[in-house]
Amino acid sequence: MLKFRTKIKKFCLQEAKKRYFLIVRESFCKGCITMRTQKQDKRRSGFTLIEVMVVVVIMGILAGVAVPKLFGLIEKTKEKKDLQHLFYIKKAFERLLVQIEAHDDGSTSSNNDTYGFTGDFADNTIQNYLANSKGRGLILLNINLGDKVNDKGFACYMIGDLKPSSYNNGFYRDILDESGFGLVASKLATSSGGNSKIWIPPLFESKTLVYPSSQGGKYSSAQHIRVKWKNNDPNSKEVVVWIGGQGNVLTGLQGTVFATEMNGLMAK
């Protein structure tokens, strides 16, 4: 009987140990799983250094491609706006030419190189001036190294092929007023002519027509705003306006050609 009780007691102790170890093992496994899950959650909630570096590199590449294109687009828009000013001059010119022809007595011009538009071929007539292949210089843009934009943001301009009095009143003054160049006309009218320079806020916005090459522009010499008959034909009653010289037209940094048209300009 005593032996039987001893065996029962021993059996119970062994079973108790088994259950204890099972409980401890289950608890340990659950703890490990919990810790592993927490570590995974922590990894998922942040970024590694490599991930951050990859993002920075990608952003740098995108910036290197997109930013220049953005600034190029802005500059091209400015060039197109500047080109539009030449079309304003063209429209004003052609409208006033029709007006002069209607009067046919020079009264519209008031002694400003336009008398005899329809019949007088003296050297001082607009008929001959616009038939010249180099055209008529209205305003000189002094975008050279010696006359860069000053510290006030003003640009330098000079008289073109006209007399100072032509900027004061009459045909050419009307054109410049109507096309938005009234301020420069007023300043040039009071100049002494020749190489006299005036400084005013830039008439244009693009780098090509404001800054010399040393300041981010494209050219380093004075350039005229010119006008001539389309295809050198006075009977067309149409003109071409461009910036440059005889057979020479300025092009912008973004490829804009500063002429109201090229076909009528290049005709000899």
Tens digits of residue pLDDT in 10-23? 655 666 566 655 65
Amino acid code (one letter) for 155: A
Cα radius of gyration rounded to whole Å, the chain: 41
Is 160 part of a structural domain of the chain?
Answer: yes
pLDDT over threshold 50, residue 112: no
Structure confidence at residue 267 (pLDDT):
52
Structure confidence at residue 59 (pLDDT):
81
Structure confidence at residue 257 (pLDDT):
92
Compute the average pLDDT of residues 45-49: 71
Structure confidence at residue 225 (pLDDT):
92
Most confident of 67-71, 105-109, 139-143, 180-184: 180-184
Q: Which residues pair with 156 in a beta bridge?
A: 199
Is 51 part of a structural domain of the chain?
Answer: no
- Residue 6: band (very low, low, confident or very high) from pLDDT cuts 50, 70, 90: low
Is 228 part of a structural domain of the chain?
Answer: yes
Q: What is the pLDDT of residues 204-220, one digit of tens each?
A: 989 888 888 877 788 87
* Mean of per-residue pLDDT scores for the chain: 74
Full-model pTM = 0.68
Greatest CA separation for the chain: 153
Strand-by-strand arrangement of the 239-245 sheet: 197-200, 155-159, 136-141, 223-229, 239-245, 248-249
Tally of CA atoms within 13 A in the half-sphere of 215 that contains its CB:
19
Compute the average pLDDT of residues 69-74: 74
**C-alpha span between 19 and 132 (Å, rounded):** 114
| 3-state class (DSSP) for residue 228 | strand
**94 and 101 Cβ atoms separated by less than 8 Å:** no
- The label of the residue with tokens 């062994």 reads 14
Report the share of the chain in percent with pLDDT over 90.
12
Residues spanned by the domain of 148: 74-266
Is 6 part of a structural domain of the chain?
Answer: no
Angle between helices 182-189 and 171-178 in degrees, nearest 10: 140
Is 60 part of a structural domain of the chain?
Answer: no
Compute the average pLDDT of residues 250-261: 91
Structure confidence at residue 87 (pLDDT):
95
Is 41 part of a structural domain of the chain?
Answer: no
pLDDT over threshold 70, residue 176: yes
Report CA torsion sign: 196, 249, 255, 178.
positive
Structure confidence at residue 11 (pLDDT):
56
- The label of the residue with tokens 């003003």 reads 154
Is 219 part of a structural domain of the chain?
Answer: yes
Compute the average pLDDT of residues 22-30: 57
* 206 phi/psi in degrees, rounded to 5: -70, 150
Structure confidence at residue 33 (pLDDT):
52
Burial of 197 (0-12, 13-18, 19+ CB in 10 A): middle
Compute the average pLDDT of residues 187-197: 80
Is 30 part of a structural domain of the chain?
Answer: no
Q: What is the pLDDT of residues 117-166, one digit of tens each?
A: 443 334 456 677 777 778 888 998 887 655 566 656 788 888 888 888 88
Counted domains in the chain = 1
Structure confidence at residue 66 (pLDDT):
64
